[in-house]
Every structure is written in C-alpha cells, then in structure tokens.
Amino acid sequence: MSTPRAPKVAGIDSAVSLPPHTAVPPHTAAVPSRPAAPPPVPADALLQDRLAGWVSDLTLLHELTESLIRTGSLDDALRELLRAGAALVGARRGMAVLEPADGLGPASTVGLGLAHADLGSIETVPRSVTSYGRILDGLDPLPDGTLPGPVGIPDLRGKEDLHPRHREVAARLGYAASYALPLATEQAGRLGAVVWLYDEPAEPAERQRHLVQLYGRFATEHLARLLEVERARAQVATVAEELLPSRLPRIPGVQLAARHRTGPRGGGDWYDALPLPEGALGLAVGSVTGSGPSALAAMGRLRASLRAYAVMEGEDPVAVLSDLELLLRLTEPARAATALFAFCEPQARRIVLAGAGHTPPLIIGEQRTEYVETSLSAPLGMLACWEAPSVELSPQPGETVLLYTDGLLRRTGDPMDRAFARLHAAAAGVPKADRADPGAVADHVLRTVLPEGLDGPDAEGEDVVLLAARFE
C-alpha cells in the first residue's frame, strides 16, 4: 500500500512550498487554506522610513526652537514652551512654573488654555501631591540623584491614592491625565517645571516623550539666559533708582511728580529737584551717553555735581550748566551729556531755564499746551566752551511744566518730528479731572505716548524720565 499524500488545494500540492519569487495565481488566492502572509518589507525601505521620520522630527524641533529663541522675556518664553510642548505631547492645556532652585527669583506662573482662576485652583492642591510640585521640590530625582525626571499620571480618575483635593480640582477643570517635565539641566540647574493636561486618560508615546525632553532641555538653557538678563536688568534698575531722589521736596506754591522707566541696558537718564534758598526750587533733567554700569556711574557723578553748582549759583542756570560742562570735559573727556536746569520761584510763578542739547519743556494748561522756545545748543562735552542764553517764562495758575528726556521720544520708534507731535497730542488730551495732579498728568502722557508694549520693564529702548511741576 502506498503512503497517503496530503490533499491538494486548487490543484497545488500543499506539501510543496512556493519559491519566494513565485506569485500565487489569482484563482488560488481567492480560497487559501490560511491567510496569506504580507510580503516582507525590504530592509532599505525600512531604513528610508526611519530616516524620513528622523528628518521630520529634526525639522519640527528646528522650527519650534527657532520660535522659542525669538522670545525676549521670561513670560513669553514660557508661553512658547507651553504651546510647543502641547503640540509635541498631544495635549490641549498646560501650566509652566518658573521657580529657580537658587531662590533668587524671579518666580512666574503661566497657563495655556487656563484662566487665572483655573491656575489659582490648581495651586490650592498641595504641591507634594502634584506632578509639577514634586519636580519643583526635588521629590523625584533621577537614579543618580542629580536632577528630577518627568512625572506622568496617565489616568487621574483611576488613581486610587490620588489626593482628594487633587481629584476635586481635576474634576472641576475637566482634565483626566497629566505629563510634567522638569525645566532642569546640569549647567542651568533646576529652574522650574511644566505640566500638560489631557481631557481624557492618555500619556505621550515614547517618540513624543523623547522629542519633548529634547525640546525641554533646549528651552531650559534659553530660559537660563533670559533669567540672567532679567536679573541683570533688575540690578541695574535698582542701582538707577538708588542714584535718583528717594523723594521730592515739598515747596509751597508747586506740586511735583516724577516718573522713571529704566531701559533694558540701563541708561544714564536722570532727574532732580532740590530746594534752594528763599523758597526757590531747582529742577533738572539730563541724559548721559552710553549704557550699563559706566553710564550709571557717570550719571550719579553728574547729578551730584549739578546739585552743588545749583546751590552756589542756581539763580543763573547758564552758569550752572557752564560749570557742569567744564567738569565733564576735564574729568570724562570721552563722554557727552544733555541737561536742562530750571530755577523756579513758585510764589512768583517765575522760571528761568537753560538747556544744553536737551529737549524743550512742555507747558500744559487749560488755555494752552505748547513747547517752551529754547535756543539751540550743543550737548555738554561737545564744544570747547559751552554757553547759551537762558529763557524766562511765567506759568499761569494751574499750569504744569513737564520736563522729560529724549528717551520718551525715541522709545516710540517714530521720527523725531512725529514723536514731538505725538507728545504734544498726549499732553493736550489730558482729562480735565487729571490736570490738578501732576502725577496723573505724567501717567496720562506715558500711557498715551508709550502704549502697551513700549512701556514697562520689558520694553526695548532707552531710559525715560518725566518731571512734572504744577504751579498753584
């Protein structure tokens, strides 16, 4: 008896395997004995797909980091970090907390898709039970103990040991999962943490985690640079404020107010108001060329010298500025400065002033808003011997004389003629209710001439000084 053979299917001997290059006929493929295996993918195609994925990831990271480095402030960088990270991990909302581990500040909290009240609700949860809080407090270090690692909670609703307050806030705000990333590198240290929130239970895939961690390390280094700049600005602003009057004098017949905005590099703009004999008052504003600590030091020396000259011969503003020019030329020949000094007799409402390359004062009142006509003169330190005639004016009761530095005009970014027109329009538009308060007049001018984005500590530009004197 012969050995039984396996049955054939559609005329093909199933005991005999087809060579790999042989195609299955169409009529046999319709009724296979078992599902046909997919054709093997060539190794070069797999490599090409992998390379294409790498190129795509690198291109995405390049675009995101390019957007990040264009940010110039800590809050803007945190917002860009939140936005880019949300795209990488597939989340819709998030919160970034800047809290440097050295304790020197500044501290900041920024949200994405979260209102201010929402951020406040999240902050009511004990930090030790939140993912970002554990990072900030160093409760989840890496195995080597140096830096914290990412903290993910893929299902907040199903987490049995979740803090009751955390569960309550998550339910109220409608998020069900979170992924927190430390803002920390070995060079920068721990600067803060960022957490993204998911509406449903979820967690980023391995590729997403890899990309967001690469992006997070770059963002941390960028934040560290901005942090150093911000701290330097704060120090410069503090020094500048210490070099300016801590308070303005109280003189019968006149009300005074001053406003000072320090530029990012720390310029040499200054103001002064000092009482003089027989009820007189000396008002001064000026600007020293340059920026940074050297300009601040020169500004302090110049202001102190002007005070001494004003006490000795304040009735003659030209003599005061002439002495100041001689001092500047002898002690700091490589530096120039502008200055304006006004000798005021408030009871008689009489002002005698002289300016050296400085912008003209502005008179603001019910019946007029006009610039004081002063003679053209060079800045101090630019001529072998400076001298210019003085100007006398008599403000009416209730009028305010506004002294300012050219940083107010330059920070607008307009040509000087348009900047002067802009300042005049702002002064003419002071509300009637504010005209009795020189501080309100100065604030209105600042808000109008320098709208949002041009005013404040983060605005790019020069120093701005305003000194307002309202005569009764």
Residue pLDDT, tens place only, 185-215:
888 889 999 999 999 999 999 999 999 999 9
Alpha helices in 20-130 (DSSP H): 26-29, 43-69, 74-89, 116-123
pLDDT of residue 4: 43
pLDDT of residue 32: 46
Q: pLDDT band at residue 460, thresholds of 50, 70 and 90?
A: low
Cα 448–Cα 454–Cα 455 angle in degrees, nearest 5:
75
Q: Quick one: average pLDDT of 319-342? A: 89
Per-chain mean pLDDT for the chain: 85
Percentage of the chain modeled with pLDDT above 90 = 58
Spell out the residues 6+ positions from residue 374 whose beta carbon is closer than 8 angstroms to its own: 353, 354, 355, 360, 361, 391
Structure tokens at 129: 């039970």
3-state class (DSSP) for residue 251? strand
Q: Quick one: average pLDDT of 15-26? A: 38
Asked whether this chain's domains 59-234 and 244-471 adopt the same fold, the reply is no
Q: So what CATH class is 244-471?
A: alpha beta
Q: Quick one: average pLDDT of 447-461? A: 64
Percentage of the chain modeled with pLDDT above 70 = 85
Rounded CA separation 62/57 (Å): 9
Instruction: Please tell me the least confidently modeled range out of 329-338, 411-420, 440-449.
Output: 329-338
Q: pLDDT band at residue 459, thresholds of 50, 70 and 90?
A: very low
pLDDT of residue 41: 56
Structure tokens at 59: 């291109």
Q: DSSP string spanning 149-163?
A: --EEES-STT-TT--
pLDDT of residue 17: 37
Per mean pLDDT, which of 36-50, 51-65, 452-466 is the most reliable? 51-65
pLDDT in tens, 215-263: 999 999 999 999 998 888 888 777 777 788 889 999 999 999 999 987 7
CB 179 within 8 A of CB 203: yes
Does pLDDT of 297 surpass 70?
Answer: yes
pLDDT of residue 287: 92
Structure tokens at 116: 């201010």
Does the domain at residues 59-234 carry the CATH identifier 3.30.450.40? yes
Rounded CA separation 33/119 (Å): 62
pLDDT in tens, 347-400: 999 999 999 989 999 999 999 999 998 877 888 887 666 677 899 999 999 999
* Residue ranges per structural domain of the chain: 59-234, 244-471
Q: pLDDT band at residue 432, thresholds of 50, 70 and 90?
A: very high
pLDDT of residue 3: 45
Q: Quick one: average pLDDT of 413-433? A: 94
pTM, two decimal places:
0.66
CB 403 within 8 A of CB 460: no
Residue 455 C-alpha from the chain's centroid? 11
CB 462 within 8 A of CB 410: yes
Does pLDDT of 51 surpass 50?
Answer: yes
pLDDT in tens, 64-101: 999 999 998 999 999 999 999 999 999 999 999 999 98
Instruction: Please tell me the least confidently modeled range out of 8-12, 19-23, 73-77, 278-282.
Output: 8-12
Distinct helix (H) and strand (E) counts, the chain: 12, 17
Instruction: Please tell me the least confidently modeled range out of 140-149, 432-441, 452-461.
Output: 452-461
3-state class (DSSP) for residue 217? helix
Task: Report CA-CA distances (Å) from 247 to 101, 259, 311.
Answer: 36, 12, 18
pLDDT of residue 384: 62
pLDDT of residue 305: 93
Element (H, E) at 340: strand 337-345
pLDDT of residue 235: 81
CB 217 within 8 A of CB 207: no
pLDDT in tens, 105-129: 899 999 999 999 999 999 999 999 9
